[in-house]
Amino acid sequence: MASKDQHMHVHEVRNDGTHPQHHHNNDHDHVYNESSSWVGADGRVYHSHDGLAPHSHEPIYSPGYFTRRALPISNRDFNERAFTVGIGGPVGTGKTALMLALCRLLRDKYSLAVVTNDIFTKEDGEFLVKNGALPEERIRAVETGGCPHAAIREDISINLGPLEELSNLYKADILLCESGGDNLAANFSRELADYIIYIIDVSGGDKIPRKGGPGITQADLLVINKTDLAQAVGADLAVMERDALRMRDGGPFVFAQVKHQVGVEEIVNHVLQAWEVATGKKRH
């Protein structure tokens, strides 16, 4: 978080990203306007909007490598917050459907709770409630505002709070956290997610895996969803498999049709393997 400067320095930013005015003020305070950005003491550009704390965006210079990805925090205290699975991916790829499917397969043997993210609604949380994924009190919907990626990476407090509360209230074994739909550069901080699933789908074309981005290259598991639509959109699954393996240094991925339960048990197996390793517990 940026510290106060000796000289107030505020840029107003329009929705199109332009900077119409540049203000200087000698009141020696730093004002966090709803649509402002400023240079912090560390030299990074910070901004604050939509209720999020002031934050910067880490520069991303390459897609990264699966084999060099940040690993789970080894000394995490799971009594403070249960093992947390982060589920990310672009809008419409099937994140909420996967949340529902995971709840249905795990809820009878494990204590679960979930947090969903949407930018300006509680749509995904309401979907899970309506479809009986879990009792309503175990589902929290978070509105992140216009930077859903910040809520899972730079300013995770908006998600940590409800996750920790749910974990303690229900003595959770596993927590699920769904990010708001975002681009291929979005990925979870290891401070938030012990296991990361990134989900794409074939409707965007078979080029998506090779476009890279930290979500594709560095997630613990890549899910390529809606394979039943491949023929309709002209996507070649063999090309997607080849490119996924190349971009992920051979890291695991699953072809799925989450809505039809295809591939979901394999995804669950990956999650439980990681849960066993992290917690030292055995699956039920």
Write out the DSSP string of the chain.
-PPPPSSEEEEE--TTS----EEEETT------TTEEEE-TTS-EEEE-TTPPPB------S---GGGSPPPPTT--TTTS-EEEEEE-STTSSHHHHHHHHHHHHTTTS-EEEEEEESS--HHHHHHHHTTSS-GGGEEEEE--S-TTGGGTT-THHHHHHHHHHHHHHT-SEEEEEPPP--TT----TTT-SEEEEEEEGGG-TTHHHH--HHHHHSSEEEEE-GGGHHHHT--HHHHHHHHHHHTTT--EEE-BGGGTBTHHHHHHHHHHHHHHHH-----
- Give the lowest-confidence range in 144-153, 196-205, 220-229: 144-153
Is residue 51 very low, low, confident or very high in pLDDT (cuts 50, 70, 90)? Answer: low
Q: For position 24, what pLDDT does the model report?
A: 32
Q: For position 146, what pLDDT does the model report?
A: 76
Whether the per-residue pLDDT at 212 is higher than 60: the answer is yes
Q: What is the mean pLDDT of residues 237-262?
A: 97
Q: What is the mean pLDDT of residues 62-67?
A: 85
Do 73 and 23 belong to one domain?
no
For residue range 13-34, what is the model confidence (pLDDT) as tens digits? 333 333 333 333 333 333 334 4
Q: For position 240, what pLDDT does the model report?
A: 98
Is residue 182 very low, low, confident or very high in pLDDT (cuts 50, 70, 90)? Answer: confident
Residue 139 lies in a domain: yes
Do 97 and 26 belong to one domain?
no
d(CA 225, CA 123): 21
For residue 263, give the CATH number of its domain. 3.40.50.300
Do 119 and 40 belong to one domain?
no
Q: For position 42, what pLDDT does the model report?
A: 59
Domain that holds residue 232: 67-279
pTM of the model: 0.81
Q: Give how many domains the chain has, as a whole number.
A: 2
Radius of gyration of the chain (CA): 20
Do 99 and 33 belong to one domain?
no
Q: What is the mean pLDDT of residues 98-124?
A: 97
Residue 158 lies in a domain: yes
Answer with the residue of higher pLDDT: 80 or 183.
80
Is residue 278 very low, low, confident or very high in pLDDT (cuts 50, 70, 90)? Answer: very high
Whether the per-residue pLDDT at 44 is higher than 70: the answer is no
Q: What is the mean pLDDT of residues 265-270?
A: 98
- Percent of the chain residues past pLDDT 70, beyond the cut: 79
Whether the per-residue pLDDT at 247 is higher than 50: the answer is yes
d(CA 20, CA 14): 7
Do 79 and 158 belong to one domain?
yes
Do 201 and 133 belong to one domain?
yes
Q: What is the mean pLDDT of residues 6-11?
A: 32
Do 107 and 211 belong to one domain?
yes
Q: What is the mean pLDDT of residues 77-100?
A: 97
Do 93 and 207 belong to one domain?
yes
Whether the per-residue pLDDT at 66 is higher than 80: the answer is yes
Q: If you average pLDDT over every residue of the chain, what do you get?
A: 85
- Give the lowest-confidence range in 11-15, 163-167, 193-197: 11-15
Residue 269 lies in a domain: yes
Q: For position 54, what pLDDT does the model report?
A: 66
Whether the per-residue pLDDT at 138 is higher than 70: the answer is yes
CA proximity to 252, closest of 280, 230, 224: 224
Do 164 and 241 belong to one domain?
yes
For residue range 111-121, what is the model confidence (pLDDT) as tens digits? 999 999 999 99
Half-sphere exposure of 194 (CA within 13 A, CB side): 25
Whether the per-residue pLDDT at 200 is higher than 60: the answer is yes
- Percent of the chain residues past pLDDT 90, beyond the cut: 71
Do 186 and 213 belong to one domain?
yes
Do 24 and 127 belong to one domain?
no
Do 38 and 101 belong to one domain?
no
